[in-house]
Amino acid sequence: MFRFASVTLAAVMLVMPMTASAQGKDPLSFNRLLPDRATRNAPPTNDGIHDPTNSGTEVLQSPREAFAPLPDSNGGNFVDWVKALQDGLINPRYDLEDPDMSPTVMDLNIVREVKGSMPDVVFPHKEHTQWLDCANCHPAIFIPQRGANQLSMAAILMGEQCGACHGRVAFPVTECRTCHSRPKNTANEDAQ
């Protein structure tokens, strides 16, 4: 009886994490190659790259706990950082020492017409200058001149141009519509 109970317990313990882990998923499950939602924002002791045997690891803050009050998004950290900043939920310093220094925000949208069928890209300087300094992007990544930068999704995916941040730390390029946000004026094209 007790042996049976123990073996059953062991079997349950074996099966439960197996179904949750990516490797032991039910072969007929939906999206078997997609990381499980339960693994998102995992605490450092359980995130796979921190060493759980290191004494400092358990002192580190869990992103899941820190992100609880912040607005959701569909990718990356699953946090809408721009909204969190604009709503005042976070107030990161713009200067190392001075907590009151505020950024010089430039409100200028750059519309980039794209060749393919996707909607045109609207690049908002406002959201970027709330976080960054002009010199972070200009002139090394983007030449500050209209028409001087040839952008491509292939380069972005490889971590160049917008991909220096988007796909590494800012929202990933799978959030297509966040950039490709202005519908093309197709009525005009049809008339020509």
Partner 1 sequence: MSVRRWARPKALKAGLFATLLCAALIILPGSKAWAEYGDVLINNYSDDADMRPVVFPHWFHRVRFRCKVCHGDLGFEFKAGGNEINMLKIIDGEYCGACHNGNIAWGVENCELCHSGKPGTETQVHGSTLKSLVTPGNQGQ
Torsion region of 153: left, alpha or beta (phi above 0 gives left; psi -120 to 50 gives alpha)? alpha
162 binds partner 1 (CB under 8 A): no
Helix or strand or coil: residue 72?
strand
Q: Which helix (H) or strand (E) holds 124?
A: strand 120-124
Which of these segments, 105-113, 143-151, 155-163, 177-185, binds partner 1 (CB under 8 A)? 155-163
Q: Which amino acid is at 140?
A: A
CB 127 within 8 A of CB 82: yes
Residues in the chain: 192
**Token pair listed for 127:** 């959201």
Report how far residue 159's alpha carbon sits from residue 77's, in angstroms, rounded to the nearest whole number.
18
18 binds partner 1 (CB under 8 A): yes
Site for partner 1 in 171-190 (CB under 8 A): 172-174
The residues facing 79 across adjacent strands are 72
Q: Using CB under 8 A, which of 14, 106, 155, 176 touches partner 1?
A: 14
Q: Using CB under 8 A, which of 122, 157, 181, 184 touches partner 1?
A: 157
Q: Using CB under 8 A, which of 65, 66, 74, 185 touches partner 1?
A: 66
Kindly list the residues in this chain that would bind partner 1 in the complex (CB under 8 A).
Answer: 2-3, 5-7, 9-10, 13-14, 17-18, 21-24, 33, 35, 39-42, 44, 47-51, 54-57, 59-61, 63, 66-67, 75-77, 79, 81, 90, 92-97, 103, 130-133, 135-136, 157-159, 163-165, 167-169, 172-174
